[in-house]
Amino acid sequence: KAGVTQTPRYLIKTRGQQVTLSCSPISGHRSVSWYQQTPGQGLQFLFEYFSETQRNKGNFPGRFSGRQFSNSRSEMNVSTLELGDSALYLCASSLAGGLGSPLHFGNGTRLTVT
């Protein structure tokens, strides 16, 4: 079974631009979550989608948004990029919502904002 696939692996953008990251979950998984990983703040929860609905949201500004499609694939968008948005963005999928279903992580998209 293929794992969680994130594209692209690396991205370089300029301040003020916007970016879209993509995540394909494991087949059959309906929940997709996004996390931001930085050396200073560690791993922080962005949002979770389940059956195309945002079920949970972290404490990030509205510049960070996401969506989930009917095939469970998810995209994350960051508008008006700032230098502090440079990070590893990790997507994770799980079979069901909650109840301790383990998250399966992709290898991430490393975003560098210059």
The stretch near other proteins (CB under 8 A) out of 13-21, 54-62, 67-75, 77-85 is 54-62
Q: How far from 87 is each of 23, 31, 48, 49, 98, CA to CA, in Å? A: 16, 22, 18, 21, 26
Task: Quote the least distance from Cβ 110 to other proteins, whole Å.
Answer: 9
The stretch near other proteins (CB under 8 A) out of 11-19, 48-56, 65-73, 76-84 is 48-56
Binding to other proteins (CB under 8 A) within 88-107 occurs at 90, 92, 94, 97-107
Among 26, 48, 111, 113, binds other proteins (CB under 8 A): 48
Task: Quote the least distance from Cβ 5 to other proteins, whole Å.
Answer: 11
Among 45, 52, 60, 79, binds other proteins (CB under 8 A): 45
Quick one: three-class SS letters along the chain? CCCCEEECCEEEECCCCCEEEEEECCCCCCEEEEEEEECCCEEEEEEEEECCEEEEECCCCCCEEEEECCCCCEEEEECCCCHHHCEEEEEEEECCCCCCCCCEECCCEEEEEC
Q: What does the binding site for other proteins look like in residue numbers (CB under 8 A)?
A: 4, 31, 33, 35, 42-45, 48, 50, 55-56, 58, 90, 92, 94, 97-108
